């Protein structure tokens, strides 16, 4: 067993390609191969604006010359500056069921972070809380939706045996819209009353003004999330970079904005579950056939994921939050959608959880973040 810092192009390719060596599709049919280009983009320190305020070091675990695990150590300076903290992060974790490899990888990441004066290691964050994060600890039987991680159950034991302790749970709620689903009448009546009382209207994003619409959502997002656990403001460059990747998998009617008397008050973004197509692209490579599958299949997807919801603080107490879920369900039913996932919901977000439960939605997947003090050298 040895730990190899990733410094060469060859080792970088091995890092990206490792999941295909770990996940036997016959044993783990739920795993959806990611697009390798998306993984490379998430790790691209030159093009990805996240790394203008962060550093990253990748590590591979080898046993007898064969890669059996990987991890990224991440110093997110924006996080520590905003939260006045000294936390380092780990992410992009992939492992065979090997306690020695797990411990050695986490030790290597902790050592790298400790050398930078950081006192705690936390994750998984790939690479931050504004991106893919969390370790799946329940709901393994479901195929993951777009931009959510899936891992086998043994990962939980590997992290806990390595001395990491749970710090926060992230929840996934499923709202089934098919099979005769209907919103409770009292929810319908309340929604119409509240909309009329507030002078609230919803409008779909104007794709002809895409950049200005993204800028509006960026402003609302940072204002709406500032009090949430672990939140760090997203720079315009990072928000715009991410939005470019999402543009191809959203429908304008599912990127909608709430306005009160013409003033923007909040927004919701629902993207099509591209994983419905990617699970049929086992190589994770964008071949001509894969691109054709995506191009012709994206409009047929009837499942989606709420990836962002933000309501400005001054409007939260006025009953707008339930209206977003009502509007999402209404729009989804109009196109014959089957289901929509709301994730991630912080486990202490009582307001959002109450709304989802009232609508008949239940927690069906749970991800967990872990942390551990970094031992002083």
Strand ranges in 77-151 using DSSP code E only, listed in sequence order: 87-95, 120-123, 125-126, 132-133, 135-138
pLDDT of residue 226: 81
Helix, strand, coil percentages in the chain from 3-state DSSP, rounded to 5: 40, 30, 30
Nearest alpha carbon to residue 328 among 315, 341, 311, 345: 341
Q: Residue 22 is encoded by which pair of tokens?
A: 């770990």
Q: How far apart are the first and last CA of the chain?
A: 22
Residue 237 has pLDDT above 70, yes or no: yes
pLDDT band with cut points at 50, 70 and 90 for residue 321? confident
Q: What are residue 179's phi and psi, to 5 degrees? A: 50, 45
Q: What is the pLDDT of residues 167-179, one digit of tens each?
A: 999 999 998 887 6
Contact 109, 372 (CB under 8 A): no
d(CA 73, CA 23) in angstroms, rounded, equals: 23
Residues 151 and 203 grouped into a single domain: no
Residue 80 CB coordination number (10 Å): 18
Residue 180 has pLDDT above 70, yes or no: no
Residues 53 and 148 grouped into a single domain: yes
Residues 62 and 163 grouped into a single domain: yes
pLDDT of residue 133: 95
Nearest alpha carbon to residue 109 among 71, 137, 77, 135: 71
Residue 326 has pLDDT above 90, yes or no: no
Q: What is the pLDDT of residues 340-366, one digit of tens each?
A: 999 999 999 998 898 888 888 889 999
Contact 345, 325 (CB under 8 A): no
Residues 223 and 152 grouped into a single domain: no
Residues 14 and 143 grouped into a single domain: yes
Q: How many domains does the chain have?
A: 2
Note the pTM of the prediction, 2 decimals. Answer: 0.94
Strand ranges in the chain using DSSP code E only, listed in sequence order: 2-5, 54-63, 66-76, 87-95, 120-123, 125-126, 132-133, 135-138, 165-176, 200-204, 250-260, 263-272, 303-311, 339-346, 362-373
Nearest alpha carbon to residue 322 among 357, 362, 290: 357
Q: What is the CATH number of the domain that holds 132?
A: 3.40.630.30
Residue 263 CB coordination number (10 Å): 11
Nearest alpha carbon to residue 339 among 207, 193, 97, 143: 143
Residue 185 is part of which domain span? 175-367
Percent of the chain, pLDDT > 70? 98
Residues 281 and 212 grouped into a single domain: yes
**Average pLDDT taken over every residue of the chain:** 92
The average pLDDT across 319-342 equals: 85
Nearest alpha carbon to residue 356 among 368, 338, 342: 342
319 conformational bin, left if phi > 0, alpha if psi -120 to 50, beta if neither = left
Residues 110 and 137 grouped into a single domain: yes
Residues 269 and 149 grouped into a single domain: no
The average pLDDT across 64-74 equals: 96
Residues 74 and 60 grouped into a single domain: yes
Residue 245 has pLDDT above 70, yes or no: yes
Q: What are residue 43's phi and psi, to 5 degrees? A: -105, 0
d(CA 300, CA 97) in angstroms, rounded, equals: 37
Q: What is the pLDDT of residues 14-28, one digit of tens each?
A: 999 999 999 998 999
The average pLDDT across 187-193 equals: 79
Residues 184 and 328 grouped into a single domain: yes
Residues 180 and 326 grouped into a single domain: yes
Bridge partners of residue 193, in order along the sequence: none
Residues 163 and 194 grouped into a single domain: no
């Amino acid at each position: 067993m040895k730990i190899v810092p990733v410094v060469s192009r060859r080792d970088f390719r091995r890092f990206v390609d490792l999941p295909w060596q770990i996940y036997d599709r016959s044993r783990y049919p739920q795993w959806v191969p990611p697009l390798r280009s998306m993984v490379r983009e998430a790790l691209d320190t030159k093009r990805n604006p996240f790394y203008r305020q962060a550093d990253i070091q990748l590590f591979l675990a080898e046993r007898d010359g064969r890669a059996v695990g990987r991890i990224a150590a991440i110093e997110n300076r924006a996080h520590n500056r905003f939260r006045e903290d000294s936390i380092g992060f780990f992410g992009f974790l992939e492992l065979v069921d090997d306690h020695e490899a797990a411990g050695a990888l986490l030790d290597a990441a902790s050592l790298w972070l400790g050398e930078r004066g950081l006192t705690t290691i936390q994750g998984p964050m790939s690479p931050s809380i504004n991106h893919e994060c969390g370790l799946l600890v329940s709901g393994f039987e479901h195929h993951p939706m777009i931009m959510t991680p899936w891992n086998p159950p043994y990962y939980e034991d590997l992290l806990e045996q390595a001395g990491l302790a749970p710090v926060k749970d992230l929840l996934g709620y499923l709202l089934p819209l098919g099979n005769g689903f209907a919103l409770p009448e009292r929810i319908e009546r309340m929604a119409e009353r509240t909309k009329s009382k507030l002078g609230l209207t919803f409008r779909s994003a104007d794709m002809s003004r895409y950049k200005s619409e993204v800028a509006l959502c960026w402003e609302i997002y940072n204002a709406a999330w500032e009090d949430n656990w672990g939140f760090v403001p997203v720079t315009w460059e990072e928000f715009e970079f991410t939005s470019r990747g999402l543009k191809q998998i959203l429908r304008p009617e599912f990127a909608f904005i709430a306005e009160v008397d013409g003033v923007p008050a909040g927004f919701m973004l629902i993207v099509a579950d591209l994983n419905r197509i990617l699970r049929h692209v086992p190589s994770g490579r964008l071949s001509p056939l894969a691109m054709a599958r995506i191009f012709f299949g994206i409009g047929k997807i009837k499942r989606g994921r709420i990836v962002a919801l933000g309501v400005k603080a001054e409007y939260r107490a006025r009953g707008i939050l339930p209206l977003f879920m009502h509007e999402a369900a209404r729009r989804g039913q109009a196109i014959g959608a089957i289901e929509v996932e709301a994730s991630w919901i912080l486990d202490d977000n009582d307001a959002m959880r109450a709304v989802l439960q009232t609508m008949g939605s239940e927690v069906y997947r749970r991800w967990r973040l872990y942390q551990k003090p970094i031992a002083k050298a």
